[in-house]
Amino acid sequence: MKHIPLFSSLAPEHIGLLADRMEKREQDAQTILFRENDPGDSFFIVLSGTVKIYRTSPEGDEKILAVFNAGDSFGELSLIDGKPRSATAQTLENTELVVMSRAHFLDMLKTHFDLNLVIMAEIVQRMRDTNDQVSDLMFFDVRTRVIKSLVKLANRFGERSDHTIVVQMPLDRHELSQMAGVKMKELNEVLYDLEDRQLVKMYASYFELNLIKLRSLLR
Ligand code: CMP
């Protein structure tokens, strides 16, 4: 718990008290934690594994809004405003979480003023990311959106190996297309072209990319 960034400003004894109010859960891959429009009753922190946050269209298409891993928290919006869940949360792999009830979450914010600022900063960052996503969808072509999504995944999940960045893929290709907001066919065309140019190498569960060259394509 003391390694969770949200709690980094708290004294160990306060973290201990909060830990007593949280329940640890181990979830299998592909478990729906809650759905868009469900009532919001709990707050989640990821200890290990990955969770995707997405919206679904009336036709059943999905748009991935965010991918969270160790240290990230989610589920705060509906607890703060009392409205239904703004999106669906689903695990992408076996995932360990800690879960706090709404009453304990609100009580925690009343007791620890600093945590309000941390949560606010997180919500502000998400709003900035959402603005980026909206302008990417409005102003950028398919190719740029795919490259931006690859760069985003590399920044979040990538590990350096010689001159390349290796990204263990928490998402399959279909989910990558849902993150970039492009069709599968469009995604594959861009990936083939990037592979031809030796900027990206795709494997079953990971990809390698030349981050410096890919970033230079975005300028
Ligand atoms: P809540 O609305 O309770 O449930 C869905 C959660 O997904 C939400 O709280 C946030 O924690 C998270 N979420 C919703 N929209 C976004 C977004 N655009 N970017 C990142 N996280 C989001």
What is the DSSP track for 162-191?
TTEEEEE-SS-HHHHHHHHT--HHHHHHHH
Among 6, 74, 137, the mutation site with the greatest number of ligand 1 atoms within 8 A of its Cβ is: 74
Whether ligand 1 lies within 6 angstroms of the CB of 181 is answered as no
* pTM for the structure as a whole: 0.92
What is the pLDDT, as a whole number, of residue 91?
97
Whether ligand 1 lies within 6 angstroms of the CB of 87 is answered as yes
In terms of phi and psi (left: phi > 0; alpha: psi -120 to 50; beta: otherwise), the region of 181 is left
Distances (CA, A) of 6 to 40, 115, 116, 144, 215: 20, 7, 10, 33, 30
Sheet holding 42-48, edge to edge: 22-27, 95-101, 42-48, 73-74
What is the pLDDT, as a whole number, of residue 50?
94
State in Å: Cα 97 to ligand 1 middle.
16
Whether ligand 1 lies within 6 angstroms of the CB of 75 is answered as yes
What is the pLDDT, as a whole number, of residue 51?
96
ipTM over 0.90: yes
Among 97, 67, 79, which residue's Cα sits nearest to residue 42?
79
What is the pLDDT, as a whole number, of residue 29?
95
Distance between alpha carbon 32 and the CA centroid of its chain, in Å? 15
What is the pLDDT, as a whole number, of residue 7?
85
Distance separating alpha carbons of residues 62 and 75, to the nearest angstrom: 19
Spans of the chain below 70 pLDDT:
none
Are the beta carbons of 54 and 68 closer than 8 angstroms? no
What is the pLDDT, as a whole number, of residue 15?
85
What is the pLDDT, as a whole number, of residue 171?
87
Whether ligand 1 lies within 6 angstroms of the CB of 126 is answered as yes
What is the pLDDT, as a whole number, of residue 161?
77
What is the pLDDT, as a whole number, of residue 168?
84
Burial class (CB in 10 A: 0-12, 13-18, 19+), 53: buried
